[in-house]
Amino acid sequence: MTAAQNQVIDADQVAIFLREHPEFFEQYSDLLASITVPHPHGGRAVSLVERQVDVLREKVKLLELRMAELLRNGQENDAISERLSRWTRELLRARDPRQLPEIVTGGLAGVFAVPQVALRLWALDDDYRDLPENEPVGPEVMALVEGLKQPYCGPNAELRPAAWLAGGGAETRSIALLPLRVGASPDPFGLLVLGSPDPERFQTGMGLSFLSRIAETASAALSKLR
């Protein structure tokens, strides 16, 4: 066994001993004060106590950063919840069901700052079939929406519903498709389309809980048109 290996083993044994005998430095307090270790950010040596203080400061900084991140996330979530509540209140205040499609799309564009919003509905009551949102969507889109069990987010990829957005979707780089259903019904009665020229706005793999809440709220309100 080499001298280097002996040194490693001895160091490990020392570390184990100190962990198992925390009273050691109480018995040899003068040794604790005299030990020096290299400073992590310079060549000078510092006392063991000073090094421990530095380690604690670094831990405190990390905790402060984590706390700041938690606060930011909490503030962002509060802001999102407040916007969702404001949008929901507008839907509940609507006396004429014919106003609901405009409140849905206008609220998403204004309250949530979504650059591009489109809405299509089908299987509506006869009294509402003259709404512009009741335009035919075609069998391919119907099949696409029926296959969506949750919102879709990702690149435009020339999806047909993107053509419903402003400019025919020419400026749309990311898109979200929100199928509209009544409760747990497997049959959709509409599709809400959100688009953005920012390719990062609606990313594949992003959290869908908030978009699902939007879809559920819009579905509940627009179901009055059926």
Taking the domains of the chain in order of start, what are their residue ranges? 3-61, 94-225
- Which residue bears the tokens 């059926």? 226
Nearest residue to 117 (alpha-carbon basis) of 133, 106, 129, 131: 106
What residues of the chain score a pLDDT lower than 70? 1-9, 25, 28-29, 31-52, 70-78
Residue pLDDT, tens place only, 157-189: 778 999 999 899 999 999 999 999 988 788 999
Work out the burial of residue 42: count CB atoms within 10 Å of its CB; fewer than 13 is exposed, 13-18 middle, 19 or more buried. Answer: exposed
The class that CATH gives domain 94-225 is alpha beta
pTM of the model: 0.68
Residue type, 164: W
**pLDDT at 76 (0 to 100):** 65
**pLDDT at 1 (0 to 100):** 46
Handedness of CA 204, 210, 212, 214 (dihedral sign): negative
